[in-house]
Chain A
Amino acid sequence: MAERLLIVGNGMAPGRMLENLLEKAPGRYDITIFNAEPRVNYDRIMLSPVLSGEKSYEQIVIHGDGWYINNGITLHKGTKVTGIDRAAKTITTDNGLTESYDKLVIATGSVPFIIPVPGHNLPGVLSYRDLDDVDAMILAAKARGSAVVIGGGLLGLEAAAGLSEQGMDVTVVHIMPTLMERQLDASAGYLLKKAIEERGIKVLTGANTKAIVGNGNGKVEGVELEDGTVIPASLVVMAVGIRPNAALGKLAGLTVNRGIVVDDQMRTSDPDIFALGECVEHRGATYGLVAPLYDMAGVLAKTLIDEPAAYNGSVTATKLKVTGISLFSAGDFAEAKDREEIVLRDAARGVYKRLVLKDNRIIGTVLYGEVEDGAWFFQLLRENADIAEMRETLIFGQGFAGGTPLDPMAAVAALPDEAEICGCNGVCKSKITGAITSKGLTSLEEVRAVTKASASCGSCTGLVEKLIGLTLGDGYAPKASKAACGCTDLGHDDIRRLIVAKELKSIPAVMQELEWKTSCGCSKCRPALNYYLLATWPGEYVDDNQSRFINERAHANIQKDGTYSVVPRMWGGVTSAKELRAIADVADKFNIPTVKVTGGQRIDLLGVKKEDLPGVWADLNAAGMVSGHAYAKGLRTVKTCVGTEWCRFGTQDSTGLGIKLEKFTWGSWTPHKVKLGVSGCPRNCAEATIKDIGIICVDSGYEFHIAGAAGLEVKQTILLCKVETEDDVLEYTGALMQLYREQAHYLDRIHKWLHRVGLDSVKQQIVEDAERRRALFARFAHAQVFAQVDPWAERVKGAFGHEFKPLADLRLAHAAE
């Protein structure tokens, strides 16, 4: 009599295994299958087309009822195996059957992970795993309404696209900053988000679900996020990951880690029991895609007929099955020292391709927008092929026939005609290209004379030169502007202009649309981009904390021993007994070793331990003090003298004006630090003529000085103009700071910026053109609405808590050893 083979689970993996087995040795086994799902083996990966309505269930069946009959297989549909008696070699089921086996195969797949937030078990909350889930979703979609999909991975996005096809209003809530972060890098994630949003699906990244809210009838009504927002929804799909379904194996006493542990022959810790599919763990790895399961199926079929075979693990590749979106990823695409990458971006076509190489071999790839070569790259990867010979052209793909090399002009070429190139004079792209062709212009000087483009501050010179180059072709060789860093060919000016012209609002957006040559930038360009975006899109751009230097991340100055110094603001250098008492108390309470008066007329507490920072700030906040930003590329101090208030020489209230200036400008982020000074008369006790902006009070008003510095280089200020009232001083200061914020390269002080753009240009825009000055002032004031938030108070309330607490403290654990 044939040996009895029992199979638990009737998914794709055992289906493929049986095909192999029946082909090699029909009749060798007497086969019985138990399946908890009440149906035959169907193509689970095609559930998304069923959901979107592109396919029917019948079209995705792999083995119809007839197949089981023809092959003499008994299939128990809707029957769950509940126990295994390994000694007796029997199994029992939920409907009371007991069956004996010679060989047993466990193929129970996986279970969707459900985050245990309040409301997770309300009716209307679904997972996405089988046909029942799809039927329930299609039913829910009949009522239209809105759906929230929790999870922005492969399954979540397919569910979202399907529900949207079915007419629902869909929001995807994803905890990580980019979609499909396990399969894609940030650049491809950015493009994917754009494409998903283009189909009308809302995407919230970095959003943590707090609860699922029900209505009076116990039905789902919405999803509440950590920040308190509630998104209305009549349907919630949770697609946050899967866990191997190893429960049965564990119950039977088999070795189980994450999944049921198998050897290279797919054998569990019991020699007569095998496991297969998503429920297994092989050499520490578990899988969630069919390709590896098919490899396992082939090995198990051979093992069952005593042919030698071994499964060695699989490298997997991912594709997203959403019509119109093409992405592909495979292998290991992390950066490391011994690895190199080749990146090709075509912003106009939304293409991003990245190959990660090690020793001239492909070890990983991410493709977006153009994935035809995915299979080829994947094959080279699995074959561990040496690609040294074709390295230069590899990224262009297998069909490469003399493609174009990377082109730094592409970003400019792709700009729409109405894109503003010169901000100072309001000149758009078509006006420049039009003038070049119609007037036969051939040089930058001519273009400047005719169109005024780049004739003022000059920061768009690079762009204008590229436009001339594009219009005239090879006949023109623009002076290459100095690239900002090794990650790009563009200079700072070009980057800043393009951020505005193309409305780029995130670091991945800049890197993709401006065709960055690296996947995630470097410590030179990231802080610069973060600043540019912050300055360009106040209130809109979300600061990227991890792209800031430590002082701006911790809001304190790091010292040589890794401790920090804390400098509270003392408006205009004026303090009070109450503030001094609070500072003294803080110094005592936290054992702060040094208390020193700074060069900026305030008090520095040096040697504070990082963990103590929030505590120190809380006490200073309680006494009414806020951060002095002594660490910031932003407004530092406003140094003053005592002026008319006390001094016998004083001509104006220099202290009062200094305080007003500091209250107006504090909190602003600038390309480099900005220090102000106000002296009550030309004796200049506040040393205002070595400040970025210095005010010298005189009888008839105020001298407005700019571009001083006292550091490695000492610069005396230049007198820009004289104004009459305190309000004028505030207006000129705001306007000047805004012009600097908008035009300077990151890490250029005001004097460097002035040197680059020329005093005339600044004078023209701040002094002569009153309208422009007022517009600049208004933009500065607008940005201040969002910038004047005390970073200390935010952190005292718990923001960025991870920054100040150690991850773990093992000192006690050591002592116990």
Chain B
Amino acid sequence: MDSDWLDIGTLNDIPKRGARVVKTARGDIAVFRTMDDRVFALDDKCPHKGGPLSQGIVQGDFVTCPLHNWMISLATGEAQGADQGCTRTIAVRLQEDRILLSWPGLAVKAA
């Protein structure tokens, strides 16, 4: 691996207003695509009771957790409204149509 960015697929692999899962040794990562083709990555774990955020409904820059409907910001991982809690975000970016996930962002490199 010669770069800090991992190519995990193309933009069209994820439906608009949808998400897909990337499996890692440290657990699942949810990679989201918004209506306007921006991508975000979060740990696939709701700060409430660990619900898989990748399975929620994406609206604007938020996802609604499928288990108890908490709203989580895709950009910051923070729960909205009265709910308190935060999910880890992982840097992700688009190069043309490729989705690149930050390798150090996954923090799995041996020290």
Question: With the chains together, A181 CA to B11 CA distance in Å?
Answer: 14
Partner of A337 from the list B34, B55, B62 (CB cut-off 8 Å) is B62
Partner of A182 from the list B1, B15, B37, B76 (CB cut-off 8 Å) is B37
Report if A814 contacts B (CB, 8 A). Answer: yes
User: Whole-angstrom distance from the CB of A647 to the nearest CB of chain B?
Assistant: 42
Partner of B49 from the list A186, A560, A806 (CB cut-off 8 Å) is A560
Instruction: Decide if A520 touches B66 in the complex (CB within 8 Å).
Output: no
Partner of B15 from the list A335, A336, A523, A545 (CB cut-off 8 Å) is A545
Which residues of the other chain, B, contact A333 by a CB distance below 8 angstroms? Answer: 36
Report if B2 contacts A (CB, 8 A). Answer: no
Report if A291 contacts B (CB, 8 A). Answer: no
Instruction: Decide if A546 touches B18 in the complex (CB within 8 Å).
Output: yes
Report if B73 contacts A (CB, 8 A). Answer: yes
Which residues of the other chain, B, contact A186 by a CB distance below 8 angstroms? Answer: 35
Instruction: Decide if A546 touches B58 in the complex (CB within 8 Å).
Output: yes
Report how many residues on chain A are interfacial, defined by Cβ distance under 8 Å.
Answer: 44
User: Whole-angstrom distance from the CB of B14 to the nearest CB of chain A?
Assistant: 7
Instruction: Decide if A526 touches B59 in the complex (CB within 8 Å).
Output: yes
Question: With the chains together, A802 CA to B12 CA distance in Å?
Answer: 10
Which residues of the other chain, A, contact B60 by a CB distance below 8 angstroms? Answer: 335-336, 520
Report if B88 contacts A (CB, 8 A). Answer: no
Question: With the chains together, A671 CA to B8 CA distance in Å?
Answer: 38
Question: With the chains together, A553 CA to B52 CA distance in Å?
Answer: 14
Report if B110 contacts A (CB, 8 A). Answer: yes
A 686-702 binary contact with B (CB < 8 Å = 1; else 0):
00000000000000000
Which residues of the other chain, A, contact B37 by a CB distance below 8 angstroms? Answer: 181-182
Report if A69 contacts B (CB, 8 A). Answer: no
Partner of A560 from the list B44, B62, B64, B67 (CB cut-off 8 Å) is B67
Partner of A817 from the list B34, B66, B99, B108 (CB cut-off 8 Å) is B108
Report if A813 contacts B (CB, 8 A). Answer: yes
Report if A808 contacts B (CB, 8 A). Answer: yes
A 788-811 binary contact with B (CB < 8 Å = 1; else 0):
000000000000001001111111
Which residues of the other chain, A, contact B31 by a CB distance below 8 angstroms? Answer: 807
Instruction: Decide if A526 touches B22 in the complex (CB within 8 Å).
Output: no
12 CB contacts below 8 A, A to B, read A175-B12, A335-B61, A336-B75, A546-B15, A546-B57, A548-B57, A549-B57, A553-B55, A562-B55, A805-B20, A807-B20, A808-B9
Which residues of the other chain, A, contact B80 by a CB distance below 8 angstroms? Answer: 337
Known: A334-B34, A806-B22. 18 other contacts (CB 8 A): A181-B37, A185-B36, A333-B36, A335-B34, A337-B75, A520-B60, A523-B57, A546-B16, A550-B66, A562-B52, A802-B15, A806-B21, A807-B14, A808-B8, A810-B6, A810-B8, A811-B23, A814-B108
Question: With the chains together, A177 CA to B15 CA distance in Å?
Answer: 11
Instruction: Decide if A807 touches B110 in the complex (CB within 8 Å).
Output: no
Report if B24 contacts A (CB, 8 A). Answer: yes
* The 8 A-B residue pairs with the shortest CB-CB distance in the complex, in nearest-first order: A335-B60, A807-B20, A814-B25, A562-B52, A808-B8, A550-B55, A546-B17, A550-B66
Instruction: Decide if A337 touches B18 in the complex (CB within 8 Å).
Output: no
Which residues of the other chain, B, contact A814 by a CB distance below 8 angstroms? Answer: 24-26, 108
User: Whole-angstrom distance from the CB of B23 to the nearest CB of chain A?
Assistant: 4
Which residues of the other chain, A, contact B1 by a CB distance below 8 angstroms? Answer: 813, 817
Report if A547 contacts B (CB, 8 A). Answer: yes
Report if A739 contacts B (CB, 8 A). Answer: no
Report how many residues on chain B are interfacial, defined by Cβ distance under 8 Å.
Answer: 52
User: Whole-angstrom distance from the CB of B45 to the nearest CB of chain A?
Assistant: 9
Question: With the chains together, A813 CA to B25 CA distance in Å?
Answer: 9
Instruction: Decide if A337 touches B23 in the complex (CB within 8 Å).
Output: no
A 172-190 binary contact with B (CB < 8 Å = 1; else 0):
0001110001100110000
Which residues of the other chain, A, contact B15 by a CB distance below 8 angstroms? Answer: 545-546, 802
Which residues of the other chain, B, contact A811 by a CB distance below 8 angstroms? Answer: 23-25
Question: Which residues of chain B have a CB within 8 Å of any CB of chain A?
Answer: 1, 6, 8-9, 12-18, 20-26, 28, 31, 34-38, 44, 49-52, 55-62, 64, 66-67, 69, 73, 75-76, 80, 96, 99, 106, 108-110
Question: With the chains together, A745 CA to B62 CA distance in Å?
Answer: 25
Which residues of the other chain, A, contact B24 by a CB distance below 8 angstroms? Answer: 810-811, 814
Main secondary structure of the interface of A (DSSP, over half): loop
Instruction: Decide if B13 touches A802 in the complex (CB within 8 Å).
Output: yes
Partner of B59 from the list A177, A522, A810 (CB cut-off 8 Å) is A522
Q: Which of A333, A545, A547, A550 has the most CB of B within 10 A?
A: A550
Q: Which of A551, A802, A810 has the most CB of B within 10 A?
A: A810
Report if A521 contacts B (CB, 8 A). Answer: yes
Which residues of the other chain, A, contact B61 by a CB distance below 8 angstroms? Answer: 334-337
Q: Which of A512-531 contact B (CB under 8 A)?
A: 520-523, 526-527
Report if A815 contacts B (CB, 8 A). Answer: yes
Question: Which residues of chain A have a CB within 8 Å of any CB of chain B?
Answer: 175-177, 181-182, 185-186, 258, 333-337, 520-523, 526-527, 545-551, 553-554, 558, 560-562, 802, 805-811, 813-815, 817
Nearest residue, chain B, Cβ from A559: B67
User: Whole-angstrom distance from the CB of A190 to the nearest CB of chain B?
Assistant: 13
Instruction: Decide if A809 touches B23 in the complex (CB within 8 Å).
Output: yes
User: Whole-angstrom distance from the CB of B52 to the nearest CB of chain A?
Assistant: 4
Nearest residue, chain B, Cβ from A176: B16
Instruction: Decide if A802 touches B64 in the complex (CB within 8 Å).
Output: no
Which residues of the other chain, B, contact A548 by a CB distance below 8 angstroms? Answer: 57
Instruction: Decide if A523 touches B59 in the complex (CB within 8 Å).
Output: yes
Q: Which of B6, B23, B49, B80 has the most CB of A within 10 A?
A: B23
Which residues of the other chain, A, contact B62 by a CB distance below 8 angstroms? Answer: 337
Nearest residue, chain B, Cβ from A564: B55
Which residues of the other chain, B, contact A545 by a CB distance below 8 angstroms? Answer: 15
Question: With the chains together, A133 CA to B1 CA distance in Å?
Answer: 43
Instruction: Decide if B23 touches A808 in the complex (CB within 8 Å).
Output: yes
Instruction: Decide if B21 touches A550 in the complex (CB within 8 Å).
Output: no
Nearest residue, chain A, Cβ from B55: A550
Which residues of the other chain, B, contact A258 by a CB distance below 8 angstroms? Answer: 96
Which residues of the other chain, A, contact B20 by a CB distance below 8 angstroms? Answer: 802, 805-807
Which residues of the other chain, B, contact A807 by a CB distance below 8 angstroms? Answer: 8-9, 13-14, 20-22, 31, 99
Q: Which of A177, A335, A554 has the most CB of B within 10 A?
A: A335
Question: With the chains together, A808 CA to B31 CA distance in Å?
Answer: 10
Which residues of the other chain, B, contact A550 by a CB distance below 8 angstroms? Answer: 55-57, 66
Question: With the chains together, A185 CA to B38 CA distance in Å?
Answer: 13
User: Whole-angstrom distance from the CB of B81 to the nearest CB of chain A?
Assistant: 12
Question: With the chains together, A817 CA to B107 CA distance in Å?
Answer: 12
Instruction: Decide if B66 touches A558 in the complex (CB within 8 Å).
Output: yes
User: Whole-angstrom distance from the CB of B109 to the nearest CB of chain A?
Assistant: 6
Which residues of the other chain, B, contact A335 by a CB distance below 8 angstroms? Answer: 34-36, 60-61
Which residues of the other chain, B, contact A806 by a CB distance below 8 angstroms? Answer: 20-23, 28
Q: Which of A177, A520, A808 has the most CB of B within 10 A?
A: A808
* Given A546-B17, A560-B67, A802-B15, A526:B57 Cβ within 8 A: yes
Which residues of the other chain, A, contact B55 by a CB distance below 8 angstroms? Answer: 550, 553-554, 558, 562
Nearest residue, chain B, Cβ from A286: B96
Which residues of the other chain, B, contact A527 by a CB distance below 8 angstroms? Answer: 57
Which residues of the other chain, B, contact A526 by a CB distance below 8 angstroms? Answer: 57, 59
Which residues of the other chain, A, contact B34 by a CB distance below 8 angstroms? Answer: 334-335
User: Whole-angstrom distance from the CB of B35 to the nearest CB of chain A?
Assistant: 5
Instruction: Decide if B14 touches A177 in the complex (CB within 8 Å).
Output: no
Nearest residue, chain A, Cβ from B34: A334
Which residues of the other chain, A, contact B67 by a CB distance below 8 angstroms? Answer: 558, 560
Q: Which of A337, A523, A807, A809 has the most CB of B within 10 A?
A: A807
Which residues of the other chain, B, contact A182 by a CB distance below 8 angstroms? Answer: 37
Nearest residue, chain A, Cβ from B49: A560
Which residues of the other chain, A, contact B64 by a CB distance below 8 angstroms? Answer: 523
Instruction: Decide if B66 touches A337 in the complex (CB within 8 Å).
Output: no
Which residues of the other chain, B, contact A817 by a CB distance below 8 angstroms? Answer: 1, 108-110
Nearest residue, chain A, Cβ from B46: A562
Instruction: Decide if A810 touches B22 in the complex (CB within 8 Å).
Output: yes
Question: With the chains together, A182 CA to B64 CA distance in Å?
Answer: 25
Partner of B35 from the list A337, A520, A561 (CB cut-off 8 Å) is A520
Instruction: Decide if A185 touches B35 in the complex (CB within 8 Å).
Output: yes
* Given A549-B66, A808-B9, A337:B76 Cβ within 8 A: yes
Nearest residue, chain A, Cβ from B63: A523
